[in-house]
Amino acid sequence: MAVSEYPLPKAVANKEREDMKDKLSTYSQEELTRRSMLQGLAAVAGTMAVSGVAGMPSAAQAQDLPVVRAYGVPTAALKDWAPMEASIGVRCELSGTSNDVGVFMRDIMASNLGETTDIFIFESGTEDILGPRGLYAEIDTQNPELTLWERTSDDWKRSDVVTDPAGTQWGVPVIGNADSFGYFPAKLGLEPDSEEELSWSLMFDDEGTRGRVAFGKGWAYSFPSAALYLKSTGAAEIGNVADMTGDEAKVVADFLIERKKAGQFRTLYGAFEEQIQLLTNKEVDVINCWEPAVREANAVLGADATRYAYTKEGYFKWGHGAYVAKQAMDRDNVDNIYKVLNYFLSGEYRALQARDRGYAGPNMDLGVAYAEENGWSEEEVAALKATEAKVAKKFAKPFVSTTTPQHSADIEDQWQRFLNA
């Protein structure tokens, strides 16, 4: 999820809200700030169909396969779709977008993409809005092509990523992770291979790290972690840290402003590349970041120079779901759509995603089995097993993020107060 965060100016965000209201009628959650919370990934122009790998369908053969058309974030894409084509006999064409929830919802609602698209892939939150409004079809968990549904853990298939508050199943889980912070063990007096659970106090409230902390500028990514810390310590009463009320957000902003004035933060970063640079240059001791930033830094500094924290309080847990366009259920490729949904739950997809992109997801055990059965190296298999154990450990703790908080305007107001302090 190597991405950057550049929230648009409030004037632009407010205009976006008004445009949404004019086009789509009133719905509180539709009045979203159009922000670029995770906008560093290159949006994929056109399709990402692939072919020509040894032992896989040739370009000519791939043209003969039935096609399922998808629209969404390219993080869910395989680097090479050919293994899927060989496994299930279906070709996937993915038109990519950035992880800007405003753009995503606008394209689906105003541009009526369901007329030409079968599957939408995005982060948690949109299912609460687009499902009940009739733009997503409910998942038929009894479809005979969805053979891996029953063995998929409820932690994934019944999560907030793919169900709404009423429990309606709007999607199939695809990928996810639990984000925390990167740190230098040597600078914190810790062993390089330690799996000790650390506190978010190292980020916000520790004299030993004061002036050596980098904190992300994007409120959707950074604000909830501060709220989690205050809630866990009993310093603030907060219901949902991912969707704070205005009063709750004010308490957290007051805390962050106090810490900012105390010199806790060395810098506030914007882009994913800045995460890597801050770690690689050893400019900070602690940074809330994506796990790939730690891997990139260690590629330069040496293995285990930096670590990605296990935490006491919890994680910024995110996930992507695959949702079926309502109109697709009236077309003649429903079985092929469900073959693709089932593939997202398979060991082959899981292993390839984890190896090539570093992301976790449902049925990691099937990914390990696939790697072993297909002669992957001992190191690759061990890495998959480590990912499986890591994800199980992290996902046992709160909290789940959302791209569509109901109180987004109030949250952003308080975040801007912190940034401007």
Q: What is the pLDDT along the chain (421 residues), one digit of tens a residue?
A: 333 232 323 333 343 333 433 333 333 333 333 333 333 333 333 333 333 233 344 454 556 899 999 999 888 889 899 999 999 999 999 998 876 788 888 889 888 899 999 999 998 889 999 999 999 999 999 999 999 999 999 989 998 899 998 999 999 999 988 999 999 999 999 988 888 899 999 999 999 999 999 999 989 889 999 999 999 999 999 999 999 999 999 999 999 999 999 999 999 998 889 999 999 999 999 999 988 899 889 999 998 899 999 999 999 998 999 999 999 999 999 999 999 999 999 999 999 998 887 788 999 999 999 999 999 999 999 999 998 888 888 988 988 888 889 999 999 999 999 999 9
| Cβ-Cβ contacts under 8 Å for 15 (sequence gap 6 or more) | none
Which residues does residue 99 pair with via DSSP β-bridges, in sequence order?
38
Residues 153 and 226 grouped into a single domain: no
Regarding whether 305 and 224 lie in a shared domain, the answer is yes
Tokens representing 69? 């058309």
Residue numbers of the domain that contains 131 = 65-177+318-376
254 part of a folded domain: yes
Has residue 35 been placed in a domain?
no
Question: Is residue 200 included in any domain, yes or no?
Answer: yes
Over the range 11-47, which residues count as b (16 or more CB within 10 Å of their CB) and which as e?
eebeebbeebeeebeeeebbbbbbbbbbbbbeebeeb
416, 271: one domain: yes
User: Does 121 map to a domain?
Assistant: yes
Residue 60 lies in a domain: no
Domain stop point among 360, 376, 392: 376
Residue partners of 213: CB distance under 8 A and separation at least 6: 202, 203, 204, 264, 265, 266, 284, 285, 286, 287
Are 52 and 58 within 8 A, CB to CB?
Answer: yes
Residue 22 in domain: no
Q: What is the CATH number of the domain that holds 190?
A: 3.40.190.10
User: Do 329 and 293 belong to one domain?
Assistant: no
**255 lies in the same domain as 271:** yes
- Say whether both 257 and 196 belong to one domain: yes
Query: What is the sign, positive or negative, of the torsion defined by CA atoms of 131, 132, 135, 139?
Result: positive
Q: Do 267 and 345 reside in the same domain of the chain?
A: no
In a domain, 381, yes or no: no
| In-domain check, residue 13 | no
Same domain, 293 and 334: no
| 99 and 228 inside one domain | no
Q: Are residues 279 and 352 in the same domain?
A: no
Domains of the chain: total: 2
